[in-house]
Structure 1
Amino acid sequence: MTDRHSAASCQGPYGGGTGPGDCGDPARFEVARHLRTPLRVCPVHLGPALLLAEGVLWPPGITLVR
């Protein structure tokens, strides 16, 4: 069964405002950002998103999404 969260695709690595990135893999993590919607990323893009995405909180707020 697929729920709403597992159907979401990766927005990584930078979470640009123009729509999802080119990845297309299922998002497994949600990264909290200041004054922006949380960024949903796959395991491959988690590191680059923490380093390069705009508004990422420090220390980072990371939630596992199933």
Structure 2
Amino acid sequence: MKPLLDPEPAAPLIGATTKTLANWRCLGLGPKFIRVGRKVKYDPDDIAEWRNARRVGSTSEPVAA
């Protein structure tokens, strides 16, 4: 099992800031996250899944929300 990531090391993996991740959590966007008490953690597999869902081959392809 891979260790869970805090928002600070997770944000650069998806090309966002920690503030953007916080906004996405409120809006239901971004990768899935896990609450551990009051802390937010990210599973590296969820980050990879989120990134892969946004792969496109051309600008005319729709991107996942």
TM-score, normalised to structure 2, is 0.26
Structure whose CA Rg is larger: 2
Q: Calculate the TM-score normalised by the size of structure 1.
A: 0.25
Q: Which has the higher strand share?
A: 1
